[in-house]
Amino acid sequence: MSSVDRFSTITELADALRAGTTTSVALTEATIRAADALDERLGVYLARYDDTALEAAATADRERAAGIDRGPLHGIPLGVKDIISMREGPTTAQSLVLPADWGGRRDAPVVERLRAAGAVLTGKTSTMEFAIGSPDRSKPFPLPRNPWDTDCWTGGSSSGTGGGIAAGLFAAGLGSDTGGSIRIPAAYCGVSGHKQTFGLVPKSGVVPLGFTYDHVGPLARSAEDCALLLDVLVGPTDDDPTTVDVGTFRCAPTVHDGVAGLRIGVARAATVDGGFCDPGTATSLDAAVAALAAAGATVGDVEFPLWDELHDACFLGLYAEAFAWHRPHLARAWADYGFDTRLGIAQGSLVSAGDYVQLQRVRELGRRAMAVLFAEVDLVIMPTTGRPAPRFGAPGMDRDERLRSLYTPPFNSLGLPALSVPMGFVDGLPVGLQIVGPAFADALVLRAGAAYQARTDWHRRVPAIAAVD
C-alpha cells in the first residue's frame, strides 16, 4: 500500500488517498487479507461483508477521481458492532434470542452517517451477548481474543471492534458503552475509544441495554481519529428522544490545540489508592501525569465525589433498565440466553421502583458535585481499568472485585465524555489512561488525548500476531 499500512491513522490514510499513493480498494483488500489470516484466531467478526465493502471502496475511488471528497472517512475501512443495525445482514447482538428481522435490516442513523461520509463498512464485529454477557464457549459465536495475547480477553462488550483495530482488520469502528464497553476494550487492546456526552449521538437502530446509560461512539487508533468519527456521528434524530441539538459541534478542528494552561485533576484516591489496581498500572499513570505536565498542563490530585455510589448506580440502574426491555424475551426464550447474561439481566428484577428512584437521585447529586469539581479543574484523569486484560479460565478476582477494578461506570451514571487512550504495558498487555471532562466538552477531552499521544507512542504499538502481509 505504498506509503501507508494497515496500522496508519485515519488522517494518514486520508492523506494518502488524496495524494493518490494508495486507493480505497487497496486498503480494503489489505484488511480482507488480514481478516483471512487472523480472524479464525481472534474472533473479530460475526459477519464479514467483503463484497459490499469492495463495492463501496471502488465507489469511493471513482468519486475521488471525479473530484468528490466526502471528508477524512471517505474510502476508509470501518467495523460496526453487532448490536447496531445494518442493511447487509441481521443484527444478532451475539445471541440466539433476537428475531432474524430485528431492526428491519435497515441502517441505524449512525451507520447512515458513516455511509454518507464515504466510509467502507467491512462487517459486523463480535460483542458479548446483548452487550452484557461474558465470553461464552457454549454458544455458536466467536470468542473474541486479545491480539496481544490470545489467551486473554479483549474486554467487552465492544470486543471485536477493539481487537480488530489492534490487529489491523480495519482502521476504526463503532462500539457502544453502557458501563465501559468502549473504553474497556480500548484499554485492553491498546487502542483509543471515546464515550461521548450522553445525547450527542443517536441510539435508534441499536439494541438497547440501559436506556439512560447507553452511548454509541468510536474506537480508533488515536484520539484524533475518534474526533474525526465523532464529528460525523453527532446530531439529533426524531426517533431517539434522548438526543440533543447542540448546533455546530466539531471536535477535529481543535484536537491539536494542546493542553498548555489546562488544569487536570488526578482521581488517584478513588482508583489507584482505592484498591484493585495493579502496581504497574499505577506506575503508568505516574508517567502519564508527567507527560501531561511536560505538555504544559497543571496536574494535581483531586477528590472524586460519590465514586462508589456512582459506580453502583450504573450497574444497578442498567440491570433494571435491561430487565425492562428483556422481560418478554426472557419469558419466551429463557434457555436461549447465556448463563451470565441471564444472571446480569435478572438482577434487574430485584431493583424496586423505590430503589430506581434513589439511583436517579444519586446520579443527580453526582452531576451537581462534578459541576463543583469542574469549576476547579478542566479535566479529570485516572486509569481506565486497574488491571490489564484477564486470561481465559484463570482464577482471579471474585465478581465484585472484578467490577471494582473497572473505573468506567461512574461516567455512564453521569453521562460525561470519557476517552481511553493507551498509556503503557503491564506484563506485555496494554493499559489505558482515561480522560474525563464536563458535559459536552468532548472536544477538550479529545484534545487532551491527542496532546498525550503527541508525546508518547503507545498508540503506535502493534501486536506481533498482526504482522501479516
**pLDDT at residue 397 above 70?**
no
- Residue 3: band (very low, low, confident or very high) from pLDDT cuts 50, 70, 90: low
Report the percentage of the chain scoring pLDDT > 70.
98
Q: Where are the domains of the chain?
A: 10-305+368-466
**pLDDT at residue 398 above 80?**
no
**pLDDT at residue 278 above 50?**
yes
**pLDDT at residue 419 above 70?**
yes
- Residue 4: band (very low, low, confident or very high) from pLDDT cuts 50, 70, 90: confident
Mode of pairing for the β-strands spanning 429-436 and 418-426: antiparallel
CA distances from 144 to 68, 211, 391, 420 (A): 38, 26, 12, 20
| 8, 24, 81, 95: the active-site residue | 81
Which of these ranges, 73-82, 117-126, 133-142, 154-163, has the smallest mean pLDDT? Answer: 133-142
**pLDDT at residue 468 above 90?**
no
**pLDDT at residue 92 above 80?**
yes
Report the percentage of the chain scoring pLDDT > 90.
93
Mode of pairing for the β-strands spanning 298-301 and 263-266: parallel
What's residue 234's pLDDT? 98
CA distances from 227 to 334, 422, 437 (A): 40, 16, 15
What's residue 1's pLDDT? 40
* Tens digits of residue pLDDT in 11-47: 999 999 999 999 999 999 999 999 999 999 999 999 9
Architecture of the domain spanning 10-305+368-466: Alpha-Beta Complex (3.90)
* Tens digits of residue pLDDT in 252-273: 999 999 999 999 999 999 999 9
pTM of this structure: 0.97
102 DSSP 8-state letter: G
Q: Look at phi and psi of residue 410 and say left if phi exceeds 0, alpha if psi is from -120 to 50, else beta.
A: alpha
Strands (E), 351-417: 379-383
Active site residue 81: yes
**pLDDT at residue 394 above 90?**
no
What's residue 399's pLDDT? 66
| 95, 158, 176, 181: the active-site residue | 181
**pLDDT at residue 2 above 60?**
no
Active site residue 181: yes
Mean pLDDT confidence for 343-363 = 97
Report the alpha-carbon distance of residue 97 to residue 93 in Å, rounded.
Answer: 9
3-class secondary-structure state, position 386: coil
| 85, 126, 157, 204: the active-site residue | 157
Average pLDDT, the chain: 96
